[in-house]
Chains A and B, each alone.
Chain A
């Protein structure tokens, strides 16, 4: 393997090998997943990265030229895809059908590329490649635009917890390097990414076959200023993706080389550990302090994830494989029953009631799938009832473990929230699982159902009045406008202004203002994440009821997370839902802080204030973004009305 774009070899001549080793011997590692349809040119793109990034050797290139003549699909040009297709049978079919790993390095980073197939049958391989990836490249053929599998890929990346996605729009040469094609695809992607948990999505227009915007910038797309793909790969910030907060050290094995040493060896799943720290071991709960630490055999004062470590304790407490070291006040869930999403990977389908072995980072235990709650339609992202899960299906299950498994929600911890299921007869790995944190809403509902024990008796009566009849009575088709943004970003101001304008135009509309609701309907709720989620749910349910009555519901709610907003969109069941992002930076909101909300939060008098100690996730692709910092509210109202008129929801 050769190391570097633009030539480490040149650099080497300038600085000498000793300096080179010092400078480049410590690179960061970035694990990449590539996904795309069969013909998107994905393998060609990776081949390009390897080639232009100088990862391909001359003798391999010679072999490649030979292979191109025999198997290639590119005519005269070297078929870079053949670099990747490893197994003979696959090569002859011209399709990659497994996960292949490729390696290249630049001066900044070493890259491990998991190449997974785009064909819909191979969800299993994609999930495999995604499980360890920091970043995913999703390929789209510019001539075809967004396809069903694009949504599927985006969804699986999100399901497997990949935080960074680059959408590479390939074959720009075939659409005349047209910016409008790029913009259309980007907008279409925005629609479904808005519903996913992916934190960081960016878009790069490129032509892999010719190497444009892959390693080198393209002269044919001056309108694109984002830099070539490799720039992004070298610079995407991943250090904060590692969970260094929650200490989780699963015991892999106990090292006892002699009577004086008893070391607990394992890989830190998350967190930081120092000599002298108090730790508890689960499930026993016994406590001790860290006496000594080693990482890769070297004594250290401090270790952090993902180091492979060994620790000794001050007291002799019993811990063995399957146990987990944690901090006494920060422990994972330790329950027999788990809720999880599973990707089914076996020809033999999942059927509820069957017993498997469940292997987590810490523990292997017999477990039974007691319930298949639903199957996920990866096309529509909607849940559907199902009796079983077939190969490549994704579903939500409830599992009962024989030993309580120390797990976290996968969304919080990719290491301790993951598990595999193993068939006890064939020993095959049949599923990949991700523990789901039970939403507070769900818990509350379940609690209520249990409390009244009447859940099974709740029936939905259908109204005798149809939506069309209501529309003809009210003279309007209902819709929901959902304002999101930081406190003091101008949501309520716009909401009430919109209500007034609509009223003047003869419409029936009303405002559901978060702060107003909290005085009555939600007086029992505070501002913790759980309570906020419940507040958003109640607001969304109300909006749904109003819309069902033919009314226009205007919601003003901070709704700080993408998940909350996606839930709101889903719960309202409205075909007509407009997410409006009141975009004002925190400084501006703080400057408008007449009632000292931010001031008190900064002083620590108030907690759970969005923007201060609680994160506000900016919507990546709201239906409408209003600059409420620099633009006055009258102008913003005009923009908003124009958007409603353009959609045919409001009279012009």
Chain B
């Protein structure tokens, strides 16, 4: 490699910093959607670097569905304290009152109320005009065509036919009052890039990404961790202790674990290089029809 050329990680990082600075320069009230996962952590590190030596000039928003892993919540609070950034937690209180849970109401309905609706409520209540998300184009087919600046109408809806062309690094961030954009600074990163970055930058991650003995049950061939007493065990079913880890993190009843012995970032990378399945396999919500992600996106989910 030439002394005057960037490695792919450096080039991706520079591109992401450019995007973040552009948003801060052009928008009145940006926010970072913080899901606590590895992508959010990578995005957070990029933000720290983009505005160094100052602090991150926008708050973090976490949409809490109330079914997140406990370790995620404690990790979240520790990180926010440590780097001194404002953290906003949003829970859809209507959903809580209605007793929404994935077991009785079904994955789709629960996700819609506690994630999609909750996010829209939070964005509207705070009047955010730009929201950073850690989504990557390599995650899912419909995301391959997502813009870095993704325009949303007053109802936070995404119209695949009405997206702005994006050329060079010239982003059009103009919106009318009430409209907003979702911004994906990590668009061009892959799962491996995120892990390589976490390794290079020594980014702290939720311990759930690393193998440990955890109580799990098998549902439709997917290992689900029995995190608390809300998980309805079938008669005679008993959680088994298995050495597992998670490739992605979300709501514990909807997140599949994989058996693993990887206890460090290099271990995880090694496992990934040898494995033959994509990370989204661990996400229960994607098992619906082809194009399900696209339908969710139209509604306002990421």
Contact = CB atoms under 8 A, between A and B. Distances in A.
Q: Is the interface of A mostly helix, strand, loop or mixed?
A: mixed
B281 A28 contact: no
Contacts of A297: 48-50, 52-53
25 contacts: A2-B272, A2-B276, A3-B273, A9-B274, A17-B267, A20-B270, A20-B273, A25-B196, A28-B8, A29-B7, A29-B8, A29-B11, A57-B276, A58-B276, A60-B278, A85-B141, A101-B187, A101-B188, A125-B165, A252-B21, A257-B53, A297-B49, A306-B11, A420-B172, A429-B167
Interface in B9-45: 9-15, 17-18, 21-22, 24-25
Contact count band on A: 35 or more
A173 B256 CA distance: 44
A128 interface: yes
Contact of B192 (A105, A345, A415, A427): A105
A308 B18 contact: yes
A88 interface: yes
B281 A59 contact: yes
B167 A101 contact: no
Interface string B182-208: 000001101111001001100000000
A21 B192 contact: no
A84 B140 CA distance: 10
B277 A58 contact: yes
A252 B18 contact: yes
B51 interface: yes
B239 interface: no
Contacts of A307: 6, 10, 14
A88 B294 contact: yes
Given A21-B196, A88-B294, A239 B5 contact: yes
Interface string B41-63: 00000001111111100000000
B175 interface: yes
B85 interface: no
B167 A432 contact: yes
Most central of B191, B196, B200 by chain A CB within 10 Å: B196
Contacts of B166: 128, 429
B80 interface: no
Contact of A419 (B5, B170, B188): B170
Contact of B190 (A4, A18, A63, A103): A103
A26 B21 CA distance: 25
A447 interface: no
Contacts, number: 217
B1 interface: yes
Contact of B188 (A103, A265, A310): A103
A106 B169 CA distance: 26
A418 B166 CA distance: 12
Nearest to B21: A252
A-B CB proximity, top 8 nearest: A257-B54, A297-B49, A297-B52, A308-B17, A57-B278, A131-B167, A26-B7, A29-B8
B160 A265 contact: no
A460 B170 CA distance: 44
Contact of A261 (B48, B50, B53, B137): B53
Contacts of A308: 13-15, 17-18, 21, 50
Contact of A420 (B49, B141, B170): B170
B79 interface: no
Interface string A70-94: 1000000000000111111001000
